[in-house]
């Protein structure tokens, strides 16, 4: 009796569910901006003007908006690269490394098959990029599938190895005549086409397309069902005839392939060449994005957009307010802190 | 290759290995309490920058070390708030701390780029004063280097020979059992994280105040990740962490030796040796199921309500 009365009283005071969600997200965003404003204030910058800069530079103009989309392209793909294995309870912290190796494979293609036309060269580079990412992901996936080493640890360690391989290749073999830190610019056939005179490239289309494919597969296919079964209870699904080892290897490598594609997109579409240490942590951001939205495809889209606003807004803040660029990492981190800490707006269970 | 260059290599290996060992010892304590801090890189950067800033401002390197140590402890407490009180995922929170450290350290260190400091004073090894000055100068170490091995033993003693260490390890193995035996897992985890942060702060102070003697953005260069790898390599044991740090130092030394002797091996590949070796060691030990990882490493303590 007491319990029932308790439930009733809780129901009477609860907000409608959707309103509760909206309020909670507004509150979290507001809180992180408030905290960052405090930090700006302490360092003697005007927070209100800074925020005005961030938003007018990103959402206030067509060019600014296009730059947000440019920043969003790689983290959309790396977010997917983490979300896919997370469906069968595999933790891929290695998207950063897979991205590097994918970019290296794609660059090899761009440098080797320079004479091919674009309609042939771009798909070759995409395949190579995905192959590279998948190959890098195969190491942790295989070790996991035979029950030897946890995939979290190995994929994390391999993150630190991959950029060094790029350094070795670029510095030792591929560098241009003028700069030992990067290759010469790719031939135009090896560049992803861009749209409407902005820097938005075809990589965005890949990202959105794969996002939809991911959603469809998880929802409607047999593979999606089996993956959900593995995520729910690996042993039970194995006894029901789901090939567990094959799933671990294939799904993890597919995740790696997505991160590798992100690397190819950045090398071919964004930079148009390969340079050492080119990633600003896109792989790690992908991990955070996927984690924050629990691998939900629509959530990945929203969250990567939000983070891109912060990233590209920070570019301008550096110029107009004279703060170091990496300060934008603080705003990024505060947003993450607030989401991770999940303050409840009304008293309810945390999910 | 001359004796002098060999000794020089040895000396620089000791310098680069010291900060790593302090950091790894701190992470051993964290992970023994069941918490893995991937954000160590960010903790190191914030400690290194604030320690350097304090040294520039007050002219006293020991004060700088103190500030760095406290900064490390505070950063870990922030991490602790996320993963212990708010029960957030440890890996994701660690990466968030890493990004936070990138930003905060740039903000703290920005006014001090290019400033010079009085570095931590160096003392000769006793009994070496009879050597020619060129040799002796290679073996003048600062106080943090002399203290690093005793510190490893102290951490071992703390973890394996004190009641406090028993509590830490109990929480790391099984939080519910630790709770049932009258311990407070959250409080113990906070303590362990704070202690680990202090040690990471010492390591960071050694990088910016004693070794590099300057501040540049991202100056820790992945040492935080190497430290996490070393902890796994040493199978969560402070004494074996010494071997791990030596291994890293040897990789650095190898690099210098090869450069000196003109053998053409890319320094990039040598840089990756510690990581590759750690993976190989994990494979070798993983087969025997003797990894000794704390059983509840990475798990969120949901409380016993």
Q: Do B92 and A292 touch (CB under 8 A)?
A: yes
Q: Do B266 and A326 touch (CB under 8 A)?
A: no
- B296 occurs within a structural domain: no
Of B96, B266, B271, the CB nearest to A333: B96
**Torsion sign (Cα): A185, A190, A192, A198:** positive
Question: Is the minimum CB–CB distance between B225 and chain A shorter than 8 Å?
Answer: yes
In this prediction, residue A100 has a pLDDT band, given cuts at 50, 70 and 90, of very high
Q: Do B96 and A288 touch (CB under 8 A)?
A: yes
Question: Is the minimum CB–CB distance between A337 and chain B shorter than 8 Å?
Answer: yes
In this prediction, residue B1 has a pLDDT band, given cuts at 50, 70 and 90, of low
Q: Which CATH number is B164's domain given?
A: 1.10.3470
List phi, psi (to 5°) of B192: -65, -40
- End-to-end CA, chain A: 27
Q: Do B103 and A326 touch (CB under 8 A)?
A: yes
Q: Does the structure show a pLDDT above 70 at A348? A: no
Question: Is the minimum CB–CB distance between B66 and chain A shorter than 8 Å?
Answer: no
At CB < 8 A and 24+ separation, what contacts does B1-8 make? B1/B257, B1/B260, B1/B261, B4/B134, B4/B135, B4/B138, B5/B260, B6/B257, B7/B135, B7/B138, B7/B139, B8/B138, B8/B256
Q: Which two tokens stand for residue A155?
A: 């994929």
Distance from CA of A74 to the nearest CA of B (A): 17
Distance from CA of B152 to the nearest CA of A (A): 24
**Residue of A330, A331, A335, A351 to mutate, testing the B interface (most B Cβ within 10 Å of its Cβ):** A330
Question: Is the minimum CB–CB distance between B232 and chain A shorter than 8 Å?
Answer: yes
- B299 occurs within a structural domain: no
d(CA B38, CA B222): 11
Share the mean pLDDT of chain A: 84
Question: Is the minimum CB–CB distance between A176 and chain B shorter than 8 Å?
Answer: no
CA angle (B284, A162, A178) in 5-degree steps? 145
Distance from CA of A338 to the nearest CA of B (A): 9
Helices (H), A221-351: 222-232, 234-239, 244-265, 282-292, 297-321, 328-341
Whether A142 and A162 have beta carbons less than 8 Å apart is answered as no
d(CA B229, CA B31): 12
Q: Which residue has the tokens 């010469």?
A: A184
Q: Do B266 and A171 touch (CB under 8 A)?
A: yes
Helices (H), A59-170: 62-86, 95-112, 118-145, 151-169
At CB < 8 A and 24+ separation, what contacts does A191-196 make? A191/A118, A191/A268, A191/A269, A191/A272, A192/A122, A192/A265, A192/A268, A192/A269, A193/A118, A194/A269, A196/A66
Distance from CA of A14 to the nearest CA of B (A): 22
Q: Which two tokens stand for residue B6?
A: 């060999």
- B124 occurs within a structural domain: no
Question: Is the minimum CB–CB distance between A217 and chain B shorter than 8 Å?
Answer: no
Strand partners, A182: A275
Question: Is the minimum CB–CB distance between B279 and chain A shorter than 8 Å?
Answer: yes
**Residue of A143, A155, A329, A344 to mutate, testing the B interface (most B Cβ within 10 Å of its Cβ):** A329
Of A152, A156, A333, the CB nearest to B103: A333
- B122 occurs within a structural domain: no
Q: Tell me what the mean pLDDT of segment A187-193 comes to.
A: 85
**Least confident segment among A43-57, A62-76, A262-276:** A43-57
Q: Which residue has the higher pLDDT, B141 or A268?
A: A268
d(CA B253, CA B10): 7
d(CA A156, CA A161): 9
ipTM: 0.84
The DSSP H or E segment spanning B133 is helix B133-138
- B33 occurs within a structural domain: yes
In this prediction, residue B130 has a pLDDT band, given cuts at 50, 70 and 90, of low
Q: Do A143 and B275 touch (CB under 8 A)?
A: no
Most confident of A52-61, A307-316, B11-20, B144-153: B144-153
Q: Which two tokens stand for residue B130?
A: 């009879």
Q: Does the structure show a pLDDT above 80 at B231? A: yes
Which positions 236-295 of A are in contact with B (Cβ < 8 Å)?
281, 284, 287-288, 291-292
Partners of residue B232 in chain A, C-beta under 8 Å: 153
- B89 occurs within a structural domain: yes
**Residue of B46, B75, B102 to mutate, testing the A interface (most A Cβ within 10 Å of its Cβ):** B102
Partners of residue A328 in chain B, C-beta under 8 Å: 103
d(CA B167, CA B186): 11
Distance from CA of A164 to the nearest CA of B (A): 5
Question: Is the minimum CB–CB distance between B265 and chain A shorter than 8 Å?
Answer: no
Strands (E), chain B: 122-124, 140-142
Distance from CA of A261 to the nearest CA of B (A): 22
The string of pLDDT tens digits covering residues A144-155 is: 888 778 888 889
d(CA A171, CA A174): 7
Question: Is the minimum CB–CB distance between B276 and chain A shorter than 8 Å?
Answer: yes
Which positions 93-112 of A are in contact with B (Cβ < 8 Å)?
93
Cβ-in-10-Å burial (0-12, 13-18, 19+) of A15 comes to: middle
Give the pLDDT confidence score for residue B286 in this predicted structure: 67
Of the candidate CATH numbers 1.10.3470, 3.40.630, 1.10.10, 3.90.1010, the domain formed by A68-320 belongs to: 1.10.3470
Name A179's Cβ contacts closer than 8 Å, sequence gap at least 6: none
Question: What are the extents of the domains in chain A?
Answer: 19-45+323-351, 68-320
Q: Does the structure show a pLDDT above 80 at A70? A: yes
Q: Does the structure show a pLDDT above 60 at A241? A: yes
**Torsion sign (Cα): B139, B144, B150, B153:** negative
Of B86, B87, B282, the CB nearest to A149: B282
Give the three-class secondary structure for A263: helix
Of B103, B222, B282, the CB nearest to A327: B103
Q: Tell me which residue range forms the domain holding B272.
A: 3-113+145-286
Question: Is the minimum CB–CB distance between A332 and chain B shorter than 8 Å?
Answer: yes
Question: Is the minimum CB–CB distance between A39 and chain B shorter than 8 Å?
Answer: yes
d(CA B199, CA B247): 20
Q: Does the structure show a pLDDT above 50 at A8? A: no
Whether B197 and B189 have beta carbons less than 8 Å apart is answered as no
Most confident of A86-90, A114-118, A264-268: A264-268
d(CA B86, CA B91): 14
Distance from CA of B287 to the nearest CA of A (A): 6
The total domain count for chain B is 1
Q: Do A291 and B92 touch (CB under 8 A)?
A: yes
Q: Does the structure show a pLDDT above 60 at A13? A: no
Buried/exposed code over A157-174 (b: 16+ C-beta within 10 A; e: otherwise): bbbbbbbbbbbbbbbeeb
Share the mean pLDDT of chain B: 86
């Amino acid at each position: 009796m007491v319990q029932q009365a308790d439930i009733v009283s809780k129901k009477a005071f609860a907000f409608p569910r959707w309103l509760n969600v909206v309020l909670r997200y507004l509150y979290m965003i507001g809180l992180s901006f408030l905290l960052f404003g405090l930090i700006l204030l302490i360092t003697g910058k005007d927070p209100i003007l800074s925020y005005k800069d961030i938003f007018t530079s990103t959402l206030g103009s067509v060019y600014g908006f296009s730059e947000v989309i440019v920043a969003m392209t790689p983290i959309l793909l790396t977010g997917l690269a983490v979300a896919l294995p997370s469906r069968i309870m595999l933790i891929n912290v290695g998207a950063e490394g897979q991205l590097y190796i994918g970019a290296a494979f794609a660059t090899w293609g761009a440098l080797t098959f320079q004479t091919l036309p674009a309609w042939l060269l771009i798909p070759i580079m995409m395949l190579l990029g995905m192959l590279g990412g998948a190959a890098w992901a195969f190491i942790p996936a295989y070790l996991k599938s035979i029950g030897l080493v946890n995939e979290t640890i190995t994929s994390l360690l391999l993150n630190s190895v991959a950029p060094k391989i790029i350094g070795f290749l670029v510095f030792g073999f591929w560098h241009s005549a003028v700069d030992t830190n990067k290759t010469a610019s790719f031939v135009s056939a090896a560049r992803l086409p861009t749209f409407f005179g902005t820097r938005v490239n075809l990589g965005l289309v890949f990202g959105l397309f794969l996002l939809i494919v991911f959603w469809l597969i998880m929802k409607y296919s047999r593979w999606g069902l089996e993956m959900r079964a593995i995520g729910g209870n690996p042993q039970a699904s194995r006894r029901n005839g789901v090939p567990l080892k094959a799933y671990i290897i294939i799904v993890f490598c597919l995740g790696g392939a997505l991160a590798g594609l992100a690397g190819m997109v950045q090398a071919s579409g964004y930079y148009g060449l390969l340079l050492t240490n080119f990633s600003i942590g896109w792989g790690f951001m992908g991990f955070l994005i996927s984690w924050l939205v629990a691998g939900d495809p629509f959530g990945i889209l929203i969250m990567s957009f939000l983070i891109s606003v912060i990233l590209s807004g920070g570019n301008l803040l550096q110029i107009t307010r004279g703060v170091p660029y990496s300060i934008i990492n603080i705003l990024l981190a505060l947003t993450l802190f607030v989401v991770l800490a999940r303050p409840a707006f009304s008293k309810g269970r945390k999910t | 290759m001359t004796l002098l260059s060999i000794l020089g290599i040895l000396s620089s290996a000791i310098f680069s290995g010291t900060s790593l060992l302090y950091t790894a010892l701190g992470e051993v304590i964290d992970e023994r309490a069941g918490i893995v801090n991937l954000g160590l890189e960010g903790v190191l950067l914030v400690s290194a920058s604030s320690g350097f800033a304090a040294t520039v401002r007050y002219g006293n390197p020991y004060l700088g070390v103190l500030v760095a140590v406290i900064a490390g402890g505070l950063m870990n407490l922030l991490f602790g708030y996320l993963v212990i009180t708010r029960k957030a995922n440890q890996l994701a929170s660690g990466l968030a701390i890493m990004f936070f450290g990138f930003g905060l350290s740039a903000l703290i260190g920005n006014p001090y780029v290019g400033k010079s400091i009085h570095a931590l004073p160096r003392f000769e090894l006793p009994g070496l004063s009879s050597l020619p000055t060129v040799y002796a100068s290679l073996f003048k170490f600062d106080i943090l280097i002399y203290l690093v091995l005793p510190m490893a033993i102290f951490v071992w003693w703390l973890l394996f020979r004190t009641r406090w260490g028993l509590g830490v390890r109990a929480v790391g193995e099984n939080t519910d059992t630790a709770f049932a035996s009258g311990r407070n897992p959250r409080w113990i985890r906070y303590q362990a994280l704070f202690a680990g942060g202090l040690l990471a702060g010492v390591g960071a102070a050694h990088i910016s105040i004693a070794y590099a003697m300057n501040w540049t953005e991202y100056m820790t260069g992945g040492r935080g990740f190497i430290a996490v790898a070393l902890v796994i390599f040493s199978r969560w044991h402070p004494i074996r962490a010494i071997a791990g740090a030596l291994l890293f130092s040897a990789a650095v030394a190898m690099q210098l030796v090869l450069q000196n002797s003109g053998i053409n091996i890319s320094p990039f590949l040598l840089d990756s040796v510690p990581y590759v070796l750690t993976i190989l060691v994990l494979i070798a030990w993983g087969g025997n199921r003797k990894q000794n990882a704390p059983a509840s490493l990475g798990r969120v303590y949901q409380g016993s309500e």
